[in-house]
Structure 1
Amino acid sequence: MSGTGVSTTTGTVTTKVPARLDRLPWSRWHWMIVIGLGTVWILDGLEVTVVGSIASRLSEDGSGLSITDAQVTGLAAALYVAGACSGALFFGRLTDLFGRKKLFLITLAVYLGATALTALSFSAWWFFLFRFLTGFGIGGEYAAINSAIDELIPSKYRGRVDLIINGSFWLGAVAGALLSVVALNTELFAPSVGWRLTFALGVVLGLVILLVRRHVPESPRWLFIHGRTREAEDLVADVERRVEAETGRRLPEPERAISITVRRSIGFGEIAKTVFRTYPRRAVLGLSLFVGQAFLYNAITFGFGSVLVTFFDVSSSVTGYYFAVVAFGNFLGPLFLGRLFDTLGRRPMIAGTYILSGVLLFATAWLFGAGRLTAVTMTACWCVVLFFASAGASSAYLTVSEIFPMETRAMSIAFFYAVGTAAGGISGPLIFAGLTSSGVVSDAVLAFSIGAALMVAAGLVAVFYAVAAEGRSLEDIATPLSARAAETDPAR
């Protein structure tokens, strides 16, 4: 096994931790990371889908809430997304300051408490408040978890693993859709009880994930950047021992070392300067990808059930079956296409998935407007569109996580998620709900076309601005600010 390769001189640290992590073969330890961190996306998928599936039931008499269908799919959805944007910014900053592990435990706890209180809603304002706070916790998860995943997973696997983990959102969506079918069955549960049980299940799953997540370590990259070099070295050495025992082979020596100047924190001014002045093209890319996917996905996931009810006379009690099919198609996209982001490359895959999904959505809108679709064929069209869109949307999180310096990683994820999602994710449900609730086909066609145009536009930006990050160390894609400081340190 390799040595630690540590030397410290007047605040400057030289370490091989990044190279040691990147040259690891896939192991049981990596599976523990994937399960411990990735499962929260299942909860997010469950949350979003449940609200879309139960929208019609919540607005019915006897639900226990005085609320309209448009308020559930529009206002409540927008508040959930607004909470996620706020939580991403708030917890993103704390993640860079206090570490990945502390924050991905805290954010999950926030989610659990808010979801439990949502299940106890007795009025519309209570429901709206705790939908916002549920989103607040989930938004914090995005920054903390994407940072940890990309910093712990070897570079040659990073693209596919990140995509599949983000795509696991749709496994939660499948569960939420099927759960809603059972929960909304009035022969089993009273109208005021079934929807509450769907939220209660989210709490149970969250508690299980919390138990697993306690065993996920802090990011060694974050540790050495913040002066806790010995902890980082010991953690990586322990992982190396496990991998060598598992494979029965000695690991090769790491090739490169990196020198950094220990810095406890980076101010907002330096973060903004780094993102927008040092990497302006990457900033445009991140915003474009997030706005496009946020509008499309938040509009569709919150409003798909209402479209089926309004335009195809599908009973609200069975819309979950349709959405489960669409959701499963979404998961298959990152699952089957994820490997190509590491082999064929980031630029062709990001641009290709965005543009192709937008073109297919335009085709779907045309067929819908021409009256050539049924509930079944409409669902089939969405499956095809979202197979590609899902891989593209997941790549947005991967992109902003890996193309900016490590000290700004969580905050960069938080910023681009918050701004892009605020622009597309809040406006999407409101515009989509307003257009589709009218029952006018041309209005719905317009809603679909807006989403398609934004996806195509984002894909065209990726053609010119996407970064060839496949197989490269995070430190090679964007040099850490602390490493730049070490290069100019006169004491070295």
Structure 2
Amino acid sequence: MTTTAQAASGRTVTTNIPARLDRLPWSRWHWTIVIGLGTVWILDGLEVTVVGNIASRLSEPGSGLPISSGQITGIAAALYVAGACVGALFWGRLTDTWGRKRLFMITLAVYLAATALTAVSFSPWWFFTFRFLTGFGIGGEYAAINSAIDELIPAKFRGRVDLIINGSFWLGAVGGSLLSIVALNTNIFPADVGWRLTFALGAVLASVILLVRRHVPESPRWLLIHGRDREAEEIVTSIEEKVESETGEQLARPEGEITIRQRGGVSFAEIARTLFSDYRKRSVLGFSLFIGQAFLYNAITFGFGAILTTFFDVPSGNTGYYFAVIAVGNFCGPLLLGKLFDTVGRRVMISGTYLLSGLLLFGTAWLFDRGSLNATTMTACWCAVLFFASAGASSAYLTVSEIFPMETRAMSIAFFYALGTAAGGISGPLLFADLTSTGKVADTVLAFSIGASLMCAAGLVAAFLAVKAERRSLEDIARPLTAAEAGG
């Protein structure tokens, strides 16, 4: 139920819509949200993995693209991440202003077009340009999708669902790895055709997701704040009717109301004050988590194939097998540990996964330096590291999407993603490409150690600053700015 009253500077609304959404049992309707919004990470995983695995083949004569392996794992990788950072900031602001649904449709369309045009690359500059624009679309997806997911999923399921959805990136990585094996097989496709088909497939999959996503509604929480409370009421009532029809039981009475003063938008000054004054410690937490995971993942994801070929003489056409194995380990982390973020709690699980992955990476670096690893055991070590790291990395997105006020949610996600990824995701691939290309074990050990140090540092920050957000309403974790005005 929602009631409204006129106020001096806008309509004041008292509503129980957030409580009604949070008390819903899990249903088929929630699965449509997961499928409609979460599947884009599979595309992201496919994109990143394919590029990493085809780097060696693209640099070979006859690929149809005069480009070196270093340019792909270094420049192209950095441009993809740079595009994602710029896109996150650009689209994030529009997501808070225009709404979640409009933006998660637009950003997917941008990704689709850029990926399709990557497939017809004929020169390095074309390839670099559309790698940047592909990232530009993906960056917008991070802000729009994570905002919508957290605002539509019930509080008691929010942690595990968010982790699994963000972790589904690695299902795409498995697909990308296996796809690259087929695409790089010159007995099936010519050297200048196979890699193009992998990008074309990404565009086809994006088209299918675009059709499914049309049925995902706008966030009722966003509608409430922006003066569209009648539309929000209709959406929530429709959801409740679907859930009651599915379960055959009447829903429990919602507990709790909130009063907000509706408004059009939030200024950059208010966003800055919220992040750097009102929620300073939470901002330190978000930045630390993103720096650690961004360096580790963007450096290693783009460079793992080069490590196998440089140090273990694995043929370029076989690196996909190894990457598929560590991708499965990555997805299993959020899948198996996700529930614990809602039960054991955020602080223990976030700090624990970051610290464990960092310590295991230090151990991997030590074994690699001793010459104790081969391609198989190196892959096994990375499986162990990334099992915990993937749960931790996914929790970074969960954290920044739930610990800041509703009005700044998408922009907060965009800001921390862009800042953390720019620091670790752009410098990571460039540095890692240089270190692994030397062929010196000590240089690669150094890269491993830097990534491990940053993960451990982020884990220590989380141990002190992580917010007790498990099973709590978003409005309870961070009171909306408009609610504070209405109350004051």
Normalising TM by the smaller chain, what interval?
over 0.9
How many angstroms does 1:66 deviate by? 1.1
CA RMSD of aligned residues (A): 0.5
Contact 2:88–2:414 under 8 Å retained in 1: yes
TM-score, L = length of structure 2: 0.99
Q: Which residue of 2 aligns with 1:92?
A: 92
Q: How far does the alpha carbon of each residue in 1:223-279 deviate from its partner, in whole angstroms, 9 at most, with x for none?
A: 001000000011000111111111111111111110000110000010010011001
User: Partners of 1:377 and 1:485 in 2: how far apart?
Assistant: 58
SS in structure 2 of the partner of residue 121 of structure 1: coil
Superposed, 1:239-254 pairs within 5 Å as 239-254=239-254
Q: Which residue of 2 aligns with 1:284?
A: 284
User: Partners of 1:395 and 1:173 in 2: how far apart?
Assistant: 19
Q: Which residue of 2 aligns with 1:157?
A: 157
Contact 2:2–2:229 under 8 Å retained in 1: no
Q: How far does the alpha carbon of each residue in 1:265-313 deviate from its partner, in whole angstroms, 9 at most, with x for none?
A: 0000100100110011000000000000000000111000000000000
What letter matches 1:199 in structure 2?
A: F
How many angstroms does 1:7 deviate by? 2.8
Identity %: 76
User: Partners of 1:232 and 1:260 in 2: how far apart?
Assistant: 14
Q: Which residue of 2 aligns with 1:172?
A: 172
User: Partners of 1:322 and 1:113 in 2: how far apart?
Assistant: 30
Q: Which residue of 1 aligns with 2:271?
A: 271
What letter matches 2:4 in structure 1?
A: S
How many angstroms does 1:18 deviate by? 0.3
Alignment of 1:411 with 2:411, yes or no, is yes
Residues paired across the two proteins, number: 485
Alignment of 1:131 with 2:125, yes or no, is no
User: Partners of 2:16 and 2:424 in 1: how far apart?
Assistant: 41
Q: Which residue of 1 aligns with 2:59?
A: 59
User: Partners of 1:226 and 1:114 in 2: how far apart?
Assistant: 32
User: Partners of 1:325 and 1:198 in 2: how far apart?
Assistant: 19
Q: Which residue of 2 aligns with 1:483?
A: 483
Alignment of 1:388 with 2:374, yes or no, is no
Alignment of 1:397 with 2:397, yes or no, is yes
Alignment of 1:434 with 2:434, yes or no, is yes
Q: Which residue of 2 aligns with 1:49?
A: 49
User: Partners of 1:96 and 1:432 in 2: how far apart?
Assistant: 35
Structure 2 counterpart of 1:6, from 3, 8, 21: 3
SS in structure 2 of the partner of residue 93 of structure 1: helix
User: Partners of 1:56 and 1:462 in 2: how far apart?
Assistant: 38
Q: Which residue of 1 aligns with 2:364?
A: 364
Q: Which residue of 2 aligns with 1:463?
A: 463
User: Partners of 2:228 and 2:485 in 1: how far apart?
Assistant: 18
Q: Which residue of 1 aligns with 2:183?
A: 183
Larger mean Cα displacement after TM superposition, 409-418 or 61-70 = 61-70
Question: Unmatched 5+ residue regions in structure 2?
Answer: none
Contact 2:351–2:459 under 8 Å retained in 1: yes
User: Partners of 1:238 and 1:192 in 2: how far apart?
Assistant: 51
User: Partners of 1:5 and 1:380 in 2: how far apart?
Assistant: 54
Q: Which residue of 2 aligns with 1:323?
A: 323
Contact 2:244–2:250 under 8 Å retained in 1: yes
Question: Unmatched 5+ residue regions in structure 1?
Answer: none
Q: Which residue of 2 aligns with 1:70?
A: 70
User: Partners of 2:300 and 2:217 in 1: how far apart?
Assistant: 36
Q: How far does the alpha carbon of each residue in 1:11-30 deviate from its partner, in whole angstroms, 9 at most, with x for none?
A: 10111110000000000100
User: Partners of 1:205 and 1:218 in 2: how far apart?
Assistant: 23
Q: Which residue of 1 aligns with 2:235?
A: 235
User: Partners of 1:179 and 1:115 in 2: how far apart?
Assistant: 16
User: Partners of 1:236 and 1:477 in 2: how far apart?
Assistant: 21
User: Partners of 1:60 and 1:313 in 2: how far apart?
Assistant: 16
User: Partners of 2:205 and 2:259 in 1: how far apart?
Assistant: 42
SS in structure 2 of the partner of residue 171 of structure 1: helix
How many angstroms does 1:8 deviate by? 2.7
SS in structure 1 of the partner of residue 314 of structure 2: coil
Q: How far does the alpha carbon of each residue in 1:183-241 deviate from its partner, in whole angstroms, 9 at most, with x for none?
A: 00011111111100010010011011001000000000000010000000110001111
SS in structure 2 of the partner of residue 9 of structure 1: strand
What letter matches 2:180 in structure 1?
A: S
User: Partners of 1:23 and 1:198 in 2: how far apart?
Assistant: 42
Alignment of 1:81 with 2:98, yes or no, is no
User: Partners of 1:239 and 1:69 in 2: how far apart?
Assistant: 50
